[in-house]
């Protein structure tokens, strides 16, 4: 089998929902076995952007906020959406400043990922930000944020203890830990 070949056949597509952030399309399909079915796809209109802000003392910043879809509070790395027509680094710099008030001199791209590829096309990019300087945060009106500066090891333990459950944050923190173990940091 050619692994690049799409085994799904779309018979018909219909738009179910559309707003500034997402579009939901339902597809009438023939599945890989040739049987009829449906497949709903959530298209994200922005790129997911995350930032691990790591200072010279080995501390990182987490942002806490109530997440409406989960109906619970969540600790995460600074993150948000970046327009597809904007360079991802510019989006990362804006999100870091908005949520934490930090600006960084050094930026390294560390993670590329698909966030929920069974139902959406959402892609994420995470940056490591170093050489930090503090300014005033500029949160959006939809954000009621809590900031936490903690040792990186504590954040890693929060991932291990399921206290951080956000996928972008987990991937980023584990990637930083791997980079530390491999002597890259």
CATH number, position 112: 3.90.79.10
> Chain-centre distance of CA 145, in angstroms?
17
pLDDT at 140 over 80: no
| Domain co-membership, 161 together with 175 | yes
Active-site residue identified among 141, 163, 182, 184: 141
| Domain co-membership, 70 together with 25 | no
Q: Is 1 inside any structural domain?
A: no
Domain of residue 33: give its range: 9-44
| Domain co-membership, 116 together with 138 | yes
Q: Is 150 helix (H, G, I), strand (E, B) or coil?
A: strand
Strand ranges (DSSP E) for 19-122? 22-30, 36-44, 46-53, 59-67, 72-76, 79-83, 102-114
| Domain co-membership, 159 together with 128 | yes
Strand partners, 111: 126
Q: Is 134 inside any structural domain?
A: yes
Catalytic, 141? Answer yes
Total domains present in the chain: 2
Confidence at residue 1, expressed as pLDDT on a 0 to 100 scale: 53
| Domain co-membership, 23 together with 103 | no
For residues 53-74, give the mean pLDDT.
Answer: 96
Cα separation values, 158 from 30, 73, 151, 163, Å: 43, 14, 11, 5
| Domain co-membership, 82 together with 18 | no
pLDDT at 182 over 70: yes
| Domain co-membership, 62 together with 125 | yes
pLDDT at 141 over 80: no
Paired tokens of 68: 């409406």
Q: Is 21 inside any structural domain?
A: yes
Q: Report the C-alpha gap between 78 and 99 in whole angstroms.
A: 6
pLDDT at 2 over 70: no
| Domain co-membership, 107 together with 36 | no
Confidence at residue 158, expressed as pLDDT on a 0 to 100 scale: 98
> From the CB of residue 53, how many other CB atoms can be counted at a distance below 10 Å?
23
| Domain co-membership, 33 together with 97 | no
Are the C-beta atoms of residues 135 and 101 closer than 8 Å to each other?
yes
Nearest to 133 by CA among 105, 153, 91: 105
Q: Is 33 inside any structural domain?
A: yes
Q: Report the C-alpha gap between 57 and 115 in whole angstroms.
A: 30
% of the chain exceeding 90 in pLDDT: 91
| Domain co-membership, 108 together with 35 | no
Query: Residue 59 — pLDDT band, cuts 50, 70, 90?
Result: very high
Model confidence pLDDT, tens digit, residues 77-124: 999 999 999 999 999 999 999 999 999 999 999 999 999 999 999 999
Are the C-beta atoms of residues 21 and 81 closer than 8 Å to each other?
yes
């Amino acid at each position: 089998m050619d692994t690049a070949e799409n085994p799904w056949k779309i018979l018909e597509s219909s738009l179910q929902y559309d707003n500034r952030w997402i579009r939901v399309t339902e597809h009438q399909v023939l599945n890989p076995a040739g049987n009829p079915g449906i497949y709903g796809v959530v298209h994200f209109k922005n790129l997911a952007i995350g930032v691990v802000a790591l200072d010279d003392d080995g501390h990182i910043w987490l942002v806490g906020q109530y997440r409406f879809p989960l109906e619970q509070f969540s600790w995460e790395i600074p993150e948000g959406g970046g327009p597809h027509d904007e360079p991802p680094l510019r989006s990362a710099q804006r999100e870091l400043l908005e949520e934490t008030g930090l600006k960084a001199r050094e930026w390294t791209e560390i993670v590329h990922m698909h966030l929920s590829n069974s139902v959406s096309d959402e892609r994420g990019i995470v940056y490591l930000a170093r050489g930090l300087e503090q300014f005033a945060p500029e949160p959006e009106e939809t954000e009621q944020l809590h900031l936490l500066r903690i040792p990186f090891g504590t954040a890693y333990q929060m991932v291990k203890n399921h206290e951080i459950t956000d996928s972008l944050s987990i991937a980023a923190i584990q990637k930083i830990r791997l980079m530390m173990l491999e002597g890259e940091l």
